[in-house]
Amino acid sequence: MSAAIPSEALAASNGESLPLTAGHWQRWRRRLLRGCVGCLFAGLLLWCLHPWLLTRLGRSLIAGDSVRSVDVLLVLDGRPGYEFAEHLLSEGQAGQLLLFDKVHSRVVELGVLPTSIDLCRDLVEELHIPVRQVAELPGQMTHLDQLLDSALRHLGPEQTLAVVCSEWRSAYVRVKLSRAATRNHCTRPLLFLVDDPEADPENWWQTRHGIRLVCDQLMRCTSLRLAAETHDASPISAEQFRRAAVATHEAPPSE
């Protein structure tokens, strides 16, 4: 004698939806209540810890070396960096300052704006840095890898190089320095940091400038670490792209 089949099983086998009983509603209410309590607790914990977490996030982008005597300085970030370099040169903690030129944009070629090397020379003259302590790298630099390689090749035997940059760029630049040292079979250059007066690691999230800086550098560092190092595939500048596009447009059609 066959056993009786429950009506719920028959409804399920026929594709019919089962009615929600009081027990179902109670279980859903308990789950919803646990979820709301969990979200409230997580939000409260995050609100209490967010200054600490955001400070740690900002400090993760800062990776510099202690200041010590070096032979050659290379400045990446404007006037504050050159003022810091002038202080080291005057104190005898550095022997030479390297200047470099960036690839010329269209407005520079037309004479609307001065070249990067001219701006550097004017700044060096304004800071009264002796000419004998200044050297210039040849050529125009299109990207950071090329600049670091050129600076390392400029060094003499047993000479040491220190790169001066903003503290917010230091984690990104540090990775670039390590890779440049590996390519050129030398020790990693030192990294000296310059403070940014508009963004403090303790409260960077309170200013628009600080938020922009941290978000930009986080994306740069993440993409740099995730992507395989392909030095030959470095992105070209906007000016190189423009010239390539013009050359392609002006080229005669192939027969």
> pLDDT (tens digit, 9 = 90+) per residue, 23-69?
666 777 777 777 777 777 666 655 555 777 888 888 888 888 898 99
Mean pLDDT of all residues belonging to the chain? 79
Residues 6 or more apart in contact with residue 199 via CB below 8 angstroms:
168, 207, 209, 210, 213, 214
Does pLDDT of 95 surpass 60? Answer: yes
* Residue 10 in this model has a pLDDT that exceeds 60: no
- pLDDT tier at 248, thresholds 50, 70, 90: low
Within 10 angstroms of residue 109's Cβ, the number of other Cβ atoms is 11
Which pLDDT score, from 0 to 100, does residue 96 have?
92
- Within 13 Å of residue 156, how many CA atoms lie on the same side as its CB? 5
Share of the chain above pLDDT 90, in %: 28
**pLDDT given at position 44:** 60
pLDDT score, position 214: 87
pLDDT given for residue 26 in this prediction: 73
Question: Is 25 in contact with 134 (CB distance < 8 Å)?
Answer: no
Report whether pLDDT(14) > 70. Answer: no
User: For 139-167, what is the mean pLDDT?
Assistant: 90
Using pLDDT thresholds of 50, 70 and 90, give the confidence band for residue 134. very high
Residue 74 pLDDT class (50, 70, 90 cuts):
very high
> Vertex 148, ends 142 and 150: CA angle to 5°?
80
- Measured CA distances, 21 to 38, 122, 124, 162 (Å): 26, 82, 82, 73
Q: Residue 29: what pLDDT? A: 74
Among candidates 198, 190, 174, 214, which has minimal Cα distance to 85? 190
pTM over 0.75: no
pLDDT of residue 238: 57
* Measured distance CA(156)–CA(154) in Å, rounded: 7
At residue 243, the pLDDT reads 63
**pLDDT for the residue numbered 246:** 60
Q: Residue 78 has what pLDDT?
A: 82
Q: What is the largest CA-CA distance in the chain?
A: 109
pLDDT value of position 6 = 52
Q: Is the pLDDT of residue 2 over 70?
A: no
**Partners of 72 in the β-ladder:** 96, 161
1 pLDDT band (50/70/90 cuts)? Answer: very low
pLDDT level of residue 88 (50, 70, 90 thresholds): very high
Q: Which tops the pLDDT comparison, 120 or 25?
A: 120
Across 153-169, average pLDDT? 89
Among 144, 166, 172, which Cα is nearest to 60's? Answer: 172
